[in-house]
Chains A and B, each alone.
Chain A
Amino acid sequence: MTSLPESVDSKLGLVIDLDTCVGCHACVINCKEWNTGGYGSALSDGDAYGSDPLGAFLNRIHTYEVAGDSERSQIVHFPKSCLHCDDAPCVTVCPTGASFKRSEDGIVLVEENWCIGCGLCAWACPYGAREMDPGEGVMKKCTLCVDRIYNENLPEEDREPACVRACPANARHFGDLGDPESDVSRLVAERSGYDLMPEQGTRPVNKYLPPRPRRESDGISLDGLAEAERTGSDGFFGWLDRALERLG
């Protein structure tokens, strides 16, 4: 079994805004195209043009219909990738040490040369955030684009995960969630960001921002605003005449 670091210097992670995610899959595919040529082996696609195409993805969007009080359901788009947990069960379950959490930034990675493809980590992860690569038989997972965020071959502004760089709806934010003064920590505080399935005791680093309260009706009544109907027995055209007089 593999140990977790006793402490981490920073807690890099994602803050995902469920209020603006429209479920467009931009993050999913941009992640795929970056990472298939990035850290570790390619992200393979089995039977890519056949009856049962099945590829490895590090990030997926799940779409749920949520029944509420109303007659009609709400739809929630829920992006999900590795949450880089402080108490990552995928690490402690790993028999070879291939799964590990970095002490410098808290990123959970797989050292693919040591991975025997046993799949225990995927069983241990309560979030379903790990996928076996169909081509290489090694476990793939979100690396937080560890080959981007420190990459000196990229302009500084691009040193963020591909999903964050791509997201058209500004629903993904990257930063140090261990630093209470960071932009992401402030966002979590302001918007009541929450842990996914805290009862699992994994202490995830990634946070989700809940949908903002919906403003279905602002309680404004037209009758409260209305002028035309209040202004006399000559009806709309009487109001119109007086309104035009006021215009000059």
Chain B
Amino acid sequence: MKIFEYPAFNKSPKVSDEVRKTTCYMCACRCGIDVHLRDGKVRYIQGNRDHPINRGVICAKGSAGIMQQYSPARLRSPLKRVGPRGSGEFKEISWDEALETAVSWLKPIRETDPKRLAFFTGRDQSQSFTGWWAQQFGTPNYAAHGGFCSVNMAAAGIYTMGGSFWEFGQPDWERTRMLMLFGVAEDHDSNPIKTGLARLKERGAKIIAVNPVRTGYNAIADDWVGITPGTDGLFVLSLVHELLRSGKIDLEYLLRYTNAAHLVVVDDGGPRDGLLARGDDGEPLVWDRARGEAKCWKDCGIGAALSGKFEIGGGLTAIPAFELAAKKYLDSRYAPDNVEKATGIAAAKIRSIAAELAHAAFEQEIRLEQPWTDWRGERHEFMIGRPVSFHAMRGISAHSNGFQTCRAIHLLQLLLGSVECPGGFRFKPPYPKPVAAHPRPCAEHGPGRPMPGPHLGYPRGPEDLLVDDAGEPLRIDKAFSWDAPLSAHGMMHMVISNAAAGDPYGIDTLFLYMANMAWNSSMNSLGVLEMLERRDSSGEYVIPRIICADAYSSETVAYADLVLPDTTYLERHDCISLLDRPICEPDAAADAIRWPVVEPDRDVRGFQSVLIDIGARLGLPGLCKPDGSPAYADYADYMVTHQRKPGIGPLAGWRNSDESGSGRGSPNPNQLERYIENGGFWTSRVPDDALYFKPWNSAYQKWAVATGFYDEPTPYVFDLYLETLCKFRVAAQGHGARQPPDHLREQILDCFDPLPAWYPPFEDALGDGDEFPLHAVTQRPAAMYHSWGSHNAWLRQIHGDNLLYVPKEVMDAAKLDDGGWATVTSRHGKITVRVRRTAASNPRTLWTWNAIGKRKGAWALSPDAPESTNGFIVNHLIDELLPPRPNGMRWANSDPITGQAAWYDLRVRIEPASSGPASPQVPAQASPVGLGDGMLEYGKEWSE
């Protein structure tokens, strides 16, 4: 019997007036989103089912886009600083005044000494544009944030295999039987990884997660390996030891697809020591086993020798690279029993993982009935797969041994024959792309002229370093100098400290885009604030001018002299370009756009359009027509009409006037409409016979040329042995015209091993382990990406403050109270934070979520917000320099090969503290946008 009749309600309420499909920007993943609009406002954001990245799903960050769109922290107008730097005191100015101010600062710089502009972009997804702009301006001082993010992954991947982990490849989710994850937190391909892990579990594949912290993906893995930070390379080389010892390696793969057989010159201490033996044509030589003679590698595939010592003419002796590798890794120092203590992983566990890898690779071989033809013209009836895959990210990258550790993981993949095969790790177009197809870095500059080449690239040897005749760095961040020769992404984390110190020179203007350098994106944050405020004897700031472009009132905005307010990601044009960091899948090339699905309600402009405007006002080549008028109306116009070279533009889809062009073709004025009609993206499927073995597959090479990735087929082999590193070693031994400074010779000899190597993280090697016995790392939470996302009204209810998770053993030994306060001390600094007991981490590792602590007054949050009172950042514990060595010199706290900031090398100790709040506290900044206030009832008008 019904007691009440319930009022009927509408089961089919109106959802939206319109759905507009664009690309998310709540993290680096770049998923497709369907934005439901109602009454001109965002009603709902869901994942785009057709999109290659997310196939309909969406994460917490993407779902919180509404709160990002309507955040009170949005900048509303251009701002001019009126208070001291850091005060947050500004006055609103017009765009005319803002642009004229910027031009009045930049024009004299360009005309006299363009390097005095340092232009660095943070979470920039338009690097192919911003870099090109900086090239037209003529400053050598441009990079994005890769140097403190994950350049070790990118550089190790490109140098070893012509493609990297990160977002440039992925496991073969549909075929792999075993996946090992190393140091993977919740960013870079976050939705694809979650979707992929679920798919692996559905298929019964095994997941092993290597991470000091057992959150997120590690929580659902079959096996969690709670490794000691910075020892992954040693662990991996122990796996290599086991596989070699037992002969569980893919010799045919090594011979066909790697430089394992390439001959290495034996010239003890001489100028050719360790370099590859080369023929007259400059190509590496191998030893033909049947004929007993040296031959060009291209003319000898599986018949090459992998061991032996050979006379190769000219009085030279050479050994196959593989023999050097085998001897190195068979050494007992890599035996599981001997790495157990350093890594914190039981020897039996290491042996068992090695066995499982071997079992999956060789006992569960995949045989696809898909014929293919290799670059030598040899037809293969099957695609043979080794269903073992790997993925690694910042936990590997952010160590001073990260480059070599990532190389060690790649070595393991190559020995198992599991890259670019069914079930293995697969590249996403336009990768694979070997070093030879990448530019060399360029810093050639002069008054009033553009640079002849791009800033960032891949040096082949000392000859490509960006140093002057005295060996001094040409770039403000000292990228591509002897300090960090292979710093392929620049070294943004060194810019402010170098500029403040005038080392190697001073600058006039620091121009930052979407980079929170005055807080969570710098090491030594308090020191950076002081540098930004530092004045010279005449009372002028030592960094005379700072321009900051951002959409939100960040900590860094408070330090700008001029603020250029950006739009939100829903209000702008953008291209997710194949020239940049594309969104492709292994099976398809893809790119995408953003377009204004909501109109801005403030006096803001998309940064890229502003940069185009400034470029035209400066008269930069490429940004002006011959008559001096602007070459592009705005960024949307650039996206469609710019050609990097004839037929190649920012967007690959629907090129040519008949819209027939994929990759190559002339600009099509209707291109953006086609993208919008197609859901904001474009894809082009890789042909079936080109899906695997891409670097060596003639069908892939042909398709890649047609699509514009290469100008001619570019087959190559993977560099198990990296000769480039050896060239630096030879230089450090005193050979060659370009010589490192003496204080770096030993470090280069130690670290630039052409075979993947492990050395202790530099902080560990300082030898005061008793004083700082613990490790401290951060993890990026799944529900929050950087400071932009953590001020979001919904996301901050998940991660509004953070605790330091402390292993139970450490809690007990230090007599800490769960939920109480503790002081954490590093060589550099001290923080007071609240602690939480855990047994789900490495027993010597403290950890917390990153980028949650905020400066009071930033991000339009109330000054008593938990982000400021309880939240904290560990950046205060980390210096950009290591402590002085006995000779008084200080080394960068970076990987010596790539310059990657070594965040995770951090060593600390912990003691009880009596009370909070979290410290250090920085006095509040004024908020130029006021503070968010009161009760939010978003969507109230739509409830029925």
Contacts and interface: CB of A to CB of B under 8 A. Distances in A.
Q: Judge: A and B partners, yes or no.
A: yes
Interface of A: 2-3, 19-26, 28-30, 32-34, 36-55, 57, 65, 67, 71-77, 97, 100, 111, 113, 134-136, 146-147, 150-154, 157-158, 162, 165-171, 211-212, 214-218, 220-229, 231, 236-237, 239-241, 243-244, 247-248
A219 to B, nearest CB: 8
A206 B516 CA distance: 44
Contact of B302 (A38, A53, A215, A247): A247
Given A170-B202, A220-B352, A228-B244, 13 more contacts: A24-B783, A29-B783, A33-B64, A34-B44, A38-B943, A40-B943, A72-B839, A75-B218, A135-B935, A218-B352, A222-B355, A229-B247, A236-B245
A191 B223 CA distance: 20
B860 A49 contact: yes
B797 A41 contact: no
Most chain B CB atoms below 10 A, which of A26, A135, A151, A248: A26
Contact of A166 (B46, B72, B798, B944): B46
B934 A47 contact: yes
A44 to B, nearest CB: 5
Given A24-B194, A44-B937, A167-B57, A49 B862 contact: yes
Given A168-B194, A236-B330, A228 B246 contact: yes
Interface stretch (B1-9, B376-384, B589-597, B659-667): B1-9
B222 interface: yes
A169 B194 contact: yes
Given A23-B215, A30-B46, A214 B63 contact: no
Contacts of B226: 72
Contact of A218 (B306, B359, B791, B861): B359
Given A67-B839, A168-B54, A170-B195, A153 B15 contact: yes
Interface stretch (B82-90, B606-614, B864-872): B864-872
Contact of B940 (A41, A111, A248): A41
A7 to B, nearest CB: 12
Nearest to A148: B15
B796 interface: yes
B840 interface: yes
Most chain B CB atoms below 10 A, which of A46, A220, A231: A220
A247 B680 CA distance: 50
Interface in B766-810: 782-783, 791, 793-798, 800
Chain A interface SS verdict (over half): loop
Interface in B522-579: none
A22 to B, nearest CB: 5
Nearest to A222: B355
A115 B14 CA distance: 25
B437 interface: no
B560 to A, nearest CB: 22
B351 A50 contact: no
Contacts of B243: 222
Given A36-B938, A46-B935, A211-B220, A222 B307 contact: no
Contact of B307 (A38, A51, A227, A237): A237
Interface of B: 1, 3-4, 6-7, 9-15, 38, 43-47, 49, 54, 56-64, 66, 72, 186, 190-191, 194-195, 197-199, 201-202, 206, 214-224, 226, 242-248, 251-252, 255, 289, 302-303, 305-307, 323, 326, 330, 349, 351-352, 354-356, 358-359, 362-363, 782-783, 791, 793-798, 800, 838-841, 843, 860-862, 864-866, 869, 931-940, 942-944
B932 A49 contact: yes
B797 A54 contact: yes
Contacts of B61: 29
B60 A214 contact: no
Contacts of A170: 195, 198-199, 202
A179 B462 CA distance: 71
List 7 A-B pairs, minimum CB-CB distance, nearest first: A49-B932, A37-B939, A228-B247, A226-B246, A24-B782, A222-B355, A168-B194
B214 A37 contact: no
Contact of B63 (A26, A43, A171, A240): A26
A46 to B, nearest CB: 6
A162 B36 CA distance: 14
B247 A226 contact: yes
Given A29-B64, A146-B11, A168 B938 contact: no
Contact of B794 (A29, A42, A150, A228): A29
A170 B226 CA distance: 26
A125 to B, nearest CB: 20
A63 B683 CA distance: 38
13 contacts: A20-B197, A24-B190, A29-B794, A36-B939, A39-B9, A42-B937, A49-B862, A135-B937, A146-B11, A170-B195, A222-B242, A228-B246, A237-B326
B819 to A, nearest CB: 14
Nearest to A51: B864
A48 B219 contact: no
Most chain B CB atoms below 10 A, which of A2, A45, A46: A45
B252 A26 contact: no
Contacts of B44: 33-34, 37
A165 B64 CA distance: 15
B797 A55 contact: yes
Given A44-B935, A214-B222, A166 B839 contact: no
Contacts of A224: 355
Contacts of B219: 22-23, 74-77
A169 B55 CA distance: 12
Nearest to A224: B355
Contact of B246 (A33, A50, A150, A223): A223
B302 A222 contact: no
Contacts of A48: 793, 932, 934-936
Nearest to B41: A37
Given A65-B840, A168-B57, A244-B306, A25 B782 contact: yes
B60 A29 contact: yes
B782 A152 contact: no
Most chain B CB atoms below 10 A, which of A100, A153, A170: A170
B793 A50 contact: no
Contact of A241 (B59, B72, B307): B307
